Each structure stands twice: as C-alpha cells, then as structure tokens.
C-alpha cells in the first residue's frame, strides 16, 4: 500500500506543477460562465441547454485530462528511464501498475471534482428544479467513469504508443457515446454469426454510456434507485479489475 | 564467506524480429559480502544487461541468478539493494527531497528517520543547497549526485552502480570513491560497472572483464596484472584482453 501511495503521490505533484491542468480549469470556468450568462435572457429552454452542454463539456474535459495524463505515464517513465531506479526498489510490476492507476485516478478525480463544483454551482443557480441528490449521483457516476477510463488507458499503454493510445481512447469514447445502442440493436435484429459478433462487441466495449446522467440532470428527472448505482459500481469494479489484472500481466512481460 | 551475488551459467538474448543479439553467453560470477567488484567491458559487452538481471528488471532465459540467495525478481529480495543507473534522469517536477521521500516510503523507512536520512544524504553528495529546487533545472552532474543519494536511501547491503562517475567533477568523483570505501568498511557489497579504468583500479577488490557476453577475466587487479608482467596498467591489460579476443 505504501508503494502505491508513494507512486500515486508523485503523480499528484506532477499535476499540480504543470500548466495543463490550470489552463483547462480556467477554460472550462470561462466557458461555463459564458454559457450561464445566456440564462439572463429568460429564453425558454436555454437553462436546460446550458445544463446539457455544461455536463457534456464537464465529462469531455475530465475525460481529456484523465486520458492525456494517464496515457503518458508508462511511455514517459520508460523514455526518461525513471522506471529503472523505481523497479530496482522492492516494487512488483503489478504494484507499479496499481500505483500508476491510483495516481491517475486521484489526479482525474481532483480535476473532475473542481469542474463538477463549477457545474453544480451553475446547475443549482439555473433557476429550474434540480435535485441535489441527482447531482450527487452525477458526481458518483463521474468518478466511476474515470475509474474505467484510467484503467482502460493504462491497459492500452502496454501495447500502444502514446498517440495511438490517446487516439483509440477518443475513438472509443465517441463510438460508445454515439453508437453503443446501435450495437445492441444490431445484435437483437440480426441473425447468426452477425448477431453474436454485434452482441460480443456490445458486451465487451467499456460502457461509458452507463455513467452518463446528462439527460436525467438536464431534465431534472428523479434520482436513480440505489440498486442501479450498486449495479454500475459492480460493473465498474469488475471491468477495472480485469483491465488492471491484464495490464499487470502485460507489463510484467514487457522487456525494459 | 556469504555470497551476496550468485550467477551461474547465465544467458540472455535480445530478439527483435529476425535479429538476435546474445548479450550474455554463460556467465559465472560470485560476489561475496563486503567486496567491491568492478565490472568492466566495452560498449555492448553485456554489463547493463547483467545489472538489469540482477535487479529483476529482466528475467534470465537460461542459468541461475540470485541476490542474497533469492531470485531478484522477488521484490523482497531487493529490499537491501541500492541502484544507481547509468543515465540519471529523475522526475523533473520533483525536488530531490521529494524524490528521496518517495523512495524512502517505498522502502518503508519510518517517517521519524527518513527526514534525517535525506538530510544526511544530500549533505554527503553536496547538493543540500539545491534540496528544494525542481530537478528539471539540474545539470547532468547534479542529477548524478541525486542518483547516488537515492541509491543509498535504504542504507543498502548491496549497492549496484552503473557508470557512477560519468558526468561528475573530480571532487565529486573523489567523494564517491570515499563513500564506496566507507561502505566496504561497514561490510557492504558494491558491484559497479565503469569505463573509467583508473576509477575501477582505485577502489575495486576484484574486477571482471566482460566482452560480447563472455566473462574473459576475473580476479583481484594485482593478480590479473601480475600474470601479465610487472608495470602493466589496467588499461593496457584491458585493451590486450579485448584485442586478443577480437
């Protein structure tokens, strides 16, 4: 545990000492500020539009930070050769991966929390009904989402270059958010091998869409039932555990 | 005498597509407690591969390898090992104190002791005045000093140094030699590779000469040179043995 804490701690320092985070944070702050100012015109539906767009931006920026920050961890350790003195210490390869995972996750959650606080302030000040409980659920789902994103990117790091990793992660994000349901429909309405193939794709893909509470938050629907949150938590835990297990195996076989 | 490093018939081959490079071809080596062992060889001899195997970074393909009687791939076997890599480049967004703190925590050094240990090491490598500076601003020599300090953070029983004096000024080299000798007095074992033959000659109890994966000579410097005639320098001996093989 102390090893994971030590590795993760150095990653948090890296975030706080680099400009990327501050630039993105100020950018989203300005963007949400500008968007919220549109509500002053009292146009019907504008507040919902702001909530909708604000949530999408919040998730996208959190995703960008999580992906770019995590994806460069393994390549930069290897390129800068900082990995050698670290692995020469009593650190197993699995421990190293877990340290990088929790470091990436904590960094991503810190940024997400700050972004979410800005979003929540605009959400609650938006004038329309909005349940604070739903906001809390939105935050929890955002954290689950980042758990999955960081695990996935770290897994990809073992066999993809930095740019390929970032590109593939973005493509997956777009596909899953845009076409996840299409794979399910294709599996349901096609026959034979095609149905099996589409079904396999649907179930194997990391379902970022499970964590998307955009519509529910925008239209101020009722909060989710507890069992739904529990089911999504289990899904996240199982998926992340599998990814991290294989990330550790692949990293263990990597010739450094 | 307790054997700290034991290498028996060790082989390692790098395979990349159709290319095969035999980095180690049946190396046998034993290093006992309290010994300072200099590991020599031209570029590509297999020195760094041997060191990576000793640290569990690479796994042996054939042969046996043990440190403190255990496989180096076990993290616990590396608890008493200090390692200074050939190219020292540490996290540029950390200060030396933060780096040493991070490594100290990995070794499980108690907080109450760690602060004092870090301060002592920074003084030893003469970098205390830059203790709070980000390492991104450091010169190669300063990084090398930090590298030496981090290798000593756990007060290791076995210190593995890969080209430790490269990039260091003469004063720092002298200080490093003194530290290595002091470690021997404390019963520590030092295994170091170097191109600086004079450095090796000055501090080593025994040396080993590796070329293209084969250990060509091993023994105390005096014995090796004695067998080749009086007055021969280590450099002459080294060149002769490498050229004879070529």
The per-residue pLDDT string of chain A (256 residues; one tens digit each, 9 = 90 and over) reads 888 999 898 888 887 888 877 887 788 778 777 776 665 555 656 677 778 888 888 899 899 989 999 999 999 999 988 999 999 999 999 999 999 999 999 999 998 998 898 888 888 876 666 788 989 999 999 999 999 999 999 999 999 999 999 999 999 999 888 888 888 888 888 888 888 888 888 888 888 888 988 888 888 888 899 999 999 999 999 999 999 999 999 999 888 8
- Dihedral sign for Cα A234, A239, A245, A251, please: negative
Nearest CA-CA distance, residue A248 and chain B, Å: 14
> What is the Cα–Cα distance from A85 to B94, expressed in whole angstroms?
15
Contact (Cβ atoms closer than 8 angstroms) between residue B67 and residue B158:
yes
Question: E strand or H helix at B189, and its extent?
Answer: strand B189-193
Residue B108 sits at the chain A interface (C-beta within 8 Å)? yes
Residue B61 sits at the chain A interface (C-beta within 8 Å)? no
Contact (Cβ atoms closer than 8 angstroms) between residue B130 and residue B96:
yes
Question: Within a 13 Å sphere around the CA of B70, how many CA atoms are in the beta-carbon half?
Answer: 13
Look up tokens 């000798």; give the residue: B181
Tell me the pTM.
Answer: 0.89
The per-residue pLDDT string of chain B (246 residues; one tens digit each, 9 = 90 and over) reads 789 999 999 999 998 888 899 999 999 999 999 999 999 998 889 999 999 999 999 999 999 999 999 999 999 999 999 999 988 788 989 999 999 999 999 999 999 999 999 999 999 988 999 999 999 999 988 999 999 999 999 999 999 999 888 778 888 888 888 888 888 889 999 999 988 888 888 889 999 999 999 999 999 988 888 765 556 788 888 888 888 876
Local structure of B171: helix, strand or coil: helix
Token couple for A156: 């990809």
Nearest CA-CA distance, residue B26 and chain A, Å: 20
Q: What confidence score (pLDDT) does residue B118 get?
A: 96
Q: What confidence score (pLDDT) does residue A178 get?
A: 83
**B64-to-A208, B59, B70, B159, B192 alpha-carbon distances in Å:** 47, 10, 10, 20, 20
Sheet (strand B3-16) strand order:
B19-32, B3-16, B62-67
Contact (Cβ atoms closer than 8 angstroms) between residue A21 and residue A111:
yes
Token couple for A157: 């790091």
> What is the Cα–Cα distance from B187 to B34, expressed in whole angstroms?
4
B163-168 contacts: CB < 8 A, separation 24 or more? B163/B86, B163/B193, B163/B194, B163/B195, B164/B84, B164/B192, B164/B194, B165/B194, B165/B196, B165/B199, B166/B86, B166/B195, B166/B196, B167/B88, B167/B140, B167/B141, B167/B143, B168/B141, B168/B144
Look up tokens 């599998």; give the residue: A242
Q: For the segment B69-101, what is each residue's pLDDT rounded down to a tens digit?
A: 999 999 999 999 999 998 878 898 999 999 999
Q: What confidence score (pLDDT) does residue A96 get?
A: 94
Q: For chain A, first and last CA: distance in Å? A: 24
Q: Which residues of A touch B93 (CB under 8 A)?
A: 13-14, 17-18
Q: For the segment A128-146, what is each residue's pLDDT rounded down to a tens digit?
A: 667 889 899 999 999 999 9
Q: What confidence score (pLDDT) does residue A236 get?
A: 96
A82, A255, A256 ranked by CB distance to B91: nearest: A82
Residue B87 sits at the chain A interface (C-beta within 8 Å)? yes
Best mutation target among B19, B98, B102 (most A Cβ atoms within 10 Å) is B102
Burial class (CB in 10 A: 0-12, 13-18, 19+), B224: buried
Q: What confidence score (pLDDT) does residue A126 get?
A: 65
B76, B79, B83 ranked by CB distance to A85: nearest: B83
Spatial CA neighbour of B120 closest among B95, B154, B85: B154
Contact (Cβ atoms closer than 8 angstroms) between residue B26 and residue B214:
yes
> What is the Cα–Cα distance from A186 to A196, expressed in whole angstroms?
10
């Amino acid at each position: 545990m102390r090893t994971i804490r030590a590795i993760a701690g150095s990653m948090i320092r890296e975030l706080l000492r680099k400009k990327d985070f501050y630039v993105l944070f100020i950018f989203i702050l300005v963007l949400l500020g500008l968007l919220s100012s549109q509500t002053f015109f009292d146009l019907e539906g504008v507040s919902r539009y702001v909530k909708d767009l604000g949530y999408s931006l919040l998730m996208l920026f959190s995703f960008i930070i999580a992906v770019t920050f995590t994806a460069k961890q393994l390549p930069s350790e290897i390129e800068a050769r900082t990995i050698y003195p670290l692995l020469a210490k009593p650190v197993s390869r699995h421990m190293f991966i877990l340290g990088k995972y929790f470091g990436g996750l904590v960094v991503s959650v810190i940024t997400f929390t700050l972004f979410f606080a800005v979003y929540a302030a605009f959400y609650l000040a938006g004038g329309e009904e909005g349940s604070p409980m739903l906001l809390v659920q939105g935050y929890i789902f955002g954290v689950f989402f980042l758990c999955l994103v960081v695990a996935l990117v770290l897994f990809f790091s073992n066999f993809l270059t930095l740019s390929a990793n970032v590109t593939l992660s973005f493509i997956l994000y777009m596909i899953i958010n845009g076409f996840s349901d299409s794979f399910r429909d294709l599996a349901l309405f096609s026959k034979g091998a095609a149905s099996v193939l589409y079904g396999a794709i649907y179930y194997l893909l990391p379902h970022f869409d499970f964590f998307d509470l955009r519509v529910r938050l925008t239209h101020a629907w009722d909060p989710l039932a507890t069992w739904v949150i529990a089911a999504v938590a289990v899904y996240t835990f199982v998926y992340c555990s599998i990814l991290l297990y294989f990330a550790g195996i692949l990293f263990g076989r990597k010739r450094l | 005498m307790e054997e700290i490093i034991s290498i028996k018939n060790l082989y390692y081959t790098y395979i990349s597509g159709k290319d095969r490079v035999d980095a180690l071809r049946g190396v046998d080596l034993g290093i006992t407690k309290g010994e300072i062992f200099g590991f020599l060889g031209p570029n590509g001899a297999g020195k760094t591969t041997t060191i990576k195997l000793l640290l569990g970074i690479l796994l042996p393909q054939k042969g046996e390898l043990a440190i403190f009687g255990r496989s180096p791939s076990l993290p616990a076997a590396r608890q008493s090992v200090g390692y200074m890599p050939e190219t020292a480049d540490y996290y540029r967004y950390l200060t030396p104190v933060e780096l040493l703190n991070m490594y100290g925590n990995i070794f499980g050094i108690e907080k109450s002791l760690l602060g004092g240990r870090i301060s002592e090491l920074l003084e030893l490598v003469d970098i205390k005045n830059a203790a709070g500076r980000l390492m991104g601003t450091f010169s190669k020599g300063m990084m090398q000093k930090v590298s030496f300090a981090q290798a000593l953070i756990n007060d290791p029983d076995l210190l593995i140094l890969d080209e430790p004096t490269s990039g260091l000024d003469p004063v720092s080299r002298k200080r490093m030699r003194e530290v290595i000798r002091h470690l021997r007095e404390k019963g520590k074992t030092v295994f170091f590779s170097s191109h600086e033959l004079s450095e090796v000659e000055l501090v080593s109890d025994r040396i080993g000469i590796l070329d293209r994966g084969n250990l060509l000579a091993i023994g105390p410097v005096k014995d090796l040179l004695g067998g080749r005639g009086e007055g021969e320098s280590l450099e002459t001996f080294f060149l002769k043995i490498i050229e004879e093989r070529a």
